[in-house]
Amino acid sequence: MRASKFLIATLKETPADAQIISHQLMLRAGMIRKVAAGLYNWLPLGLRVLRKVENIVREEMDKSGAQEVLMPAIQPSELWEQSGRWEMYGGELLRMKDRHGRDFCFGPTHEEVITNLISNEIRSYKQLPANFYQVQTKFRDERRPRFGVMRAREFIMKDAYSFDINAESLQGSYDVMFDTYMNIFTRLNLGFAPVEADNGSIGGNSSHEFHVLADSGEDAIAVCEKYDYAANLELAQALAVGGERQAPSAEMTKIDTPNQRTMDDIVKSTGLPIEKTIKTLLVKGSEHDVVALILRGDHELNEFKAEKHPLIAAPLTFIESDKEIIAAAGCSAGSIGVVGLDLPIIADLSATNISDFACGANNDDEHYINVNWGRDCEEPEAYDLRTIIAGDVCSRAGDDDSADAKITIKRGIEVGHIFQLGTKYSEAMNATCLDENGKAVVMHMGCYGVGVSRIVAASIEQNHDDRGIIWPEAIAPFDVAIIPIGYQKSELVQKTCDNLYQQLSELGVEVILDDRKERPGVMFADSDLMGIPHRLVVGERSLEKGLIEYKNRRAEESEDLNADDILETIKTLLKT
Ligand code: ATP
Ligand code: MG
């Protein structure tokens, strides 16, 4: 590509509305332009990268045996009514009507369409397992579109859906996709980790997210280096802290705590460490109106874990109005405690582990100290209710190695998600096929997403410096930039550059020759900003010495290469 014929749309200034580095650099390098919130134009430079990502994903999916299809972006409401999601799916679903007044949506995902398609096309277990994928535009009316293409409303996803005769076979299809995703993200040269993720009702080891580790990531991940464990914070198992529960050592005593409503107030007035206090949260129950959840004073409730408990209503709903709280506990929110509380009580593992603790006395402005489970109130049901924190012991550790199996919290960008759906959609939409005995059975499904456009931004988060993007070779928009010094003035320079451009192109190397009438400084800056991995500078003075200057985008210094064997050298550098 000649730069004079290519839309180079670099910007000097950092656009004010771009908060994270990838968004800033995608705008500055001239890869994308905003159309409206969460909607972007891809410029030629950006599209070259997007296509490379797409191709790697496609090649690995094809290798895995998956078959490519293409489904429509617009989907009829009838299919969503069959799955029950027309009502369930919230504001992210963009709904619309056609000229006949029929309801449609712009697909945020394609479970309904593929399940409907495959239930009509696949008849026999002999056609299974099968996996179908597409690379396609999705629309989700995100509450907070931001960070450019990282969290857009319209974006490109690779989505795949597997069909199996039973759960065991689904596990096999899932494992193949797990390995495929490892290959995809490795080829993309990303620093990533597979992360155990929440799978709602199905449970087991049946959902993983793939995260690119970056400080700008929107998700928090619990990581233990020692056990190579990584789990979504929503899911990560939090063990009881504090060792075995100590025996009671003092009598329970009621104290006056006028106007003290928060744990901090109680800690200050009693002088007790916060680890010796508990807090009580009231939520809606599934069998009882209200259930009390108990956590140690310094721990946070994990809502995702809580709502999986059979006695707790999902979605988790706090009892918030003073009237309801007083009706349930006999006092206002800051004074609730476990002694004499006439509600079902579920306590976090760490909260059941303490002795001689403080809690509210179920009377305004009064608390108890030196409360002990089993002595002053009933032993509660112990359940993992809290969010794991840095310094907690990894759930994979045994007693003897717990000291060096500590959790750290890292930030991640979710670039992929694999998920065992089981029969959720196939049952609702009656997707059956005949088994070995000629009996109709409901197929087991998995779904597998890759955020193709998000990957472009995620890669930049990990590969940049103060001069711009540093593309990994696998997805660089061009392999080599040729920068002439005096292209318009020197015949020798022009001829050398043109030859080099042609010969490299013939070898399949993607070259951008900067034949614009720009100062060398501008061309260098643009090439660095756009992140081209290899740069050749062709000038008359060097050519007279038989040299061409070469610089790797990652290197500090340039080096002189012999002009005569420049092609061979580049071939070696690019391993073509
Ligand atoms: P997130 O938690 O980031 O919203 P999700 O769980 O909604 O993601 P999935 O439904 O699993 O995402 O979609 C598959 C992949 O599509 C995600 O792993 C992510 O890489 C990508 N993706 C999802 N939402 C967006 C978006 N708004 N913009 C760009 N990519 C997205
Ligand atoms: Mg989402």
Segment 496-532, tens digit of pLDDT: 999 999 999 999 999 999 999 999 999 999 999 999 9
Please, is 568 exposed, middle or buried when counting C-beta atoms within 10 Å of its C-beta (0-12, 13-18, 19+)? exposed
**Which residues have CB under 8 Å from 544's CB, separation 6+?**
none
Segment 54-64, tens digit of pLDDT: 999 999 999 99
Assign residue 507 a region: left if phi > 0, alpha if psi is -120 to 50, beta otherwise? alpha
Q: Ligand 2 centre and the CA of 40: distance in Å?
A: 18
Ligand 1 atom with the shortest distance to the CA of 145: 27
Please, is 399 exposed, middle or buried when counting C-beta atoms within 10 Å of its C-beta (0-12, 13-18, 19+)? exposed
Ligand 1 atom with the shortest distance to the CA of 151: 28
Q: pLDDT at residue 442 above 70?
A: yes
Q: d(Cα 207, Cα 202) in Å, to the nearest integer?
A: 9
Q: d(Cα 130, Cα 127) in Å, to the nearest integer?
A: 7
Radius of gyration of the CA atoms of the chain, in A: 30
Segment 551-564, tens digit of pLDDT: 999 999 999 999 99
pLDDT category at 404 given cuts 50, 70, 90 is confident
Q: Ligand 1 centre and the CA of 172: distance in Å?
A: 24
21-28 vs 452-462: helix crossing angle, rounded to 10: 100
Report in angstroms the alpha-carbon separations of 282 from 316, 405, 431: 10, 34, 42
Q: Ligand 2 centre and the CA of 78: distance in Å?
A: 23
User: Tell me, what's the pLDDT at 198?
Assistant: 79
Q: pLDDT at residue 201 above 70?
A: no
Query: For 188-226, where are the alpha helices, taking DSSP H only?
Result: none
Instruction: Tell me which residue has its CA closest to atom 11 in ligand 1.
Output: 417
Instruction: Tell me which residue has its CA closest to atom 14 in ligand 1.
Output: 449
Q: Ligand 1 centre and the CA of 414: distance in Å?
A: 7
Q: d(Cα 392, Cα 394) in Å, to the nearest integer?
A: 6
Comparing CA positions, the residue from 547, 529, 551, 527 lying closest to residue 538 is 547
Segment 289-325, tens digit of pLDDT: 999 999 999 999 999 999 999 999 989 999 999 999 9
* Ligand that comes closest to the CA of residue 145: 1
Please, is 544 exposed, middle or buried when counting C-beta atoms within 10 Å of its C-beta (0-12, 13-18, 19+)? exposed
- According to the 3-state scheme, what is the secondary structure of 97-131? ECCCCCEEEECCCCHHHHHHHHHHHCCEHHHCCEE
Strand 253-256 to 366-371 pairing: antiparallel
Take residue 137 and report the two structure tokens written for it: 């535009």
Instruction: Tell me which residue has its CA closest to atom 12 in ligand 1.
Output: 417
> What residue has token string 């857009």?
152
**Which residues have CB under 8 Å from 206's CB, separation 6+?**
171, 174, 199, 419, 420
Task: Report pTM.
Answer: 0.90
CA 420 and chain centroid, separation:
17
8 Å CB contact between 300 and 238: no
User: Tell me, what's the pLDDT at 576?
Assistant: 64
8 Å CB contact between 541 and 551: no
Query: Which contiguous run of DSSP H or E holds residue 276?
Result: none
Q: Ligand 2 centre and the CA of 298: distance in Å?
A: 30
Take residue 125 and report the two structure tokens written for it: 């277990």
Query: For 145-258, where are the alpha helices, taking DSSP H only?
Result: 167-187
User: Tell me, what's the pLDDT at 204?
Assistant: 54
User: Tell me, what's the pLDDT at 244?
Assistant: 87
Ligand 1 atom with the shortest distance to the CA of 152: 28
Q: pLDDT at residue 349 above 90?
A: yes
Ligand 1 atom with the shortest distance to the CA of 153: 27
Report in angstroms the alpha-carbon separations of 265 from 7, 72, 190, 260, 560: 62, 58, 47, 5, 69
* Ligand that comes closest to the CA of residue 90: 2
Instruction: Tell me which residue has its CA closest to atom 31 in ligand 1.
Output: 451
* Ligand that comes closest to the CA of residue 417: 1
Instruction: Tell me which residue has its CA closest to atom 22 in ligand 1.
Output: 451
pLDDT category at 348 given cuts 50, 70, 90 is very high
Q: d(Cα 542, Cα 133) in Å, to the nearest integer?
A: 52
129: preceding bond cis by omega (within 30 degrees): yes
Segment 414-428, tens digit of pLDDT: 999 999 999 999 999
Instruction: Tell me which residue has its CA closest to atom 28 in ligand 1.
Output: 151
Comparing CA positions, the residue from 393, 449, 445, 383 lying closest to residue 416 is 449
CA 474 and chain centroid, separation:
22
Ligand 1 atom with the shortest distance to the CA of 455: 20
> What residue has token string 């496609």?
58
Instruction: Tell me which residue has its CA closest to atom 25 in ligand 1.
Output: 151
* Percent of all residues in the chain with a pLDDT value above 70, rounded to a whole number: 99
* Percent of all residues in the chain with a pLDDT value above 90, rounded to a whole number: 90
Range from 34-43, 188-197, 231-240 carrying the lowest mean pLDDT:
231-240
Q: pLDDT at residue 435 above 60?
A: yes
Q: Average per-residue pLDDT in the chain?
A: 95
Comparing CA positions, the residue from 169, 172, 185 lying closest to residue 60 is 185
Q: Ligand 2 centre and the CA of 199: distance in Å?
A: 14
pLDDT category at 261 given cuts 50, 70, 90 is confident
> What residue has token string 């696949």?
122
pLDDT category at 403 given cuts 50, 70, 90 is confident
Take residue 222 and report the two structure tokens written for it: 């619990």
User: Tell me, what's the pLDDT at 380?
Assistant: 95
pLDDT category at 486 given cuts 50, 70, 90 is very high
Take residue 4 and report the two structure tokens written for it: 């004079």
Strand 253-256 to 278-284 pairing: unpaired
Assign residue 122 a region: left if phi > 0, alpha if psi is -120 to 50, beta otherwise? beta
Q: Ligand 2 centre and the CA of 157: distance in Å?
A: 12
Range from 132-136, 221-225, 546-550 carrying the lowest mean pLDDT:
221-225
* Ligand that comes closest to the CA of residue 220: 1
Query: Which contiguous run of DSSP H or E holds residue 409?
Result: strand 408-422
Q: pLDDT at residue 203 above 60?
A: no
Ligand 1 atom with the shortest distance to the CA of 416: 18
Q: Ligand 2 centre and the CA of 76: distance in Å?
A: 21
Q: Ligand 2 centre and the CA of 170: distance in Å?
A: 24
Q: Ligand 2 centre and the CA of 163: distance in Å?
A: 24
Instruction: Tell me which residue has its CA closest to atom 8 in ligand 1.
Output: 414
Ligand 1 atom with the shortest distance to the CA of 142: 27
8 Å CB contact between 425 and 431: yes
Segment 102-124, tens digit of pLDDT: 999 999 999 999 999 999 999 99
* Ligand that comes closest to the CA of residue 209: 1
Query: For 283-332, where are the alpha helices, taking DSSP H only?
Result: 303-306, 322-329
* Ligand that comes closest to the CA of residue 212: 1
Range from 117-131, 258-272, 337-351, 509-523 carrying the lowest mean pLDDT:
258-272
Q: d(Cα 104, Cα 98) in Å, to the nearest integer?
A: 7
**Which residues have CB under 8 Å from 194's CB, separation 6+?**
178, 181, 182, 208, 209, 210, 230
Longest dimension (CA), the chain: 97
Q: Which of 34, 139, 157 to mutate to test ligand 1, by most ligand atoms within 8 A of the CB atom?
A: 157
User: Tell me, what's the pLDDT at 199?
Assistant: 72
3-state secondary structure of 289: coil
Q: Ligand 1 centre and the CA of 164: distance in Å?
A: 25
Q: Which residues line ligand 1 (CB under 6 A)?
A: 109, 140, 142, 151-152, 155, 157, 414-417, 449, 451, 453-454
Segment 352-384, tens digit of pLDDT: 999 999 999 999 999 999 999 999 999 999 999
8 Å CB contact between 532 and 473: no
Query: For 259-371, where are the alpha helices, taking DSSP H only?
Result: 263-270, 303-306, 322-329
Instruction: Tell me which residue has its CA closest to atom 4 in ligand 1.
Output: 151
Q: Ligand 1 centre and the CA of 25: distance in Å?
A: 21
Q: Ligand 1 centre and the CA of 454: distance in Å?
A: 8
Q: pLDDT at residue 15 above 80?
A: yes
User: Tell me, what's the pLDDT at 228?
Assistant: 87
* Ligand that comes closest to the CA of residue 232: 1
User: Tell me, what's the pLDDT at 398?
Assistant: 80
Q: d(Cα 217, Cα 85) in Å, to the nearest integer?
A: 29
8 Å CB contact between 183 and 395: no
Instruction: Tell me which residue has its CA closest to atom 16 in ligand 1.
Output: 451
> What residue has token string 């707790």?
312
Range from 5-14, 197-206, 425-434 carrying the lowest mean pLDDT:
197-206
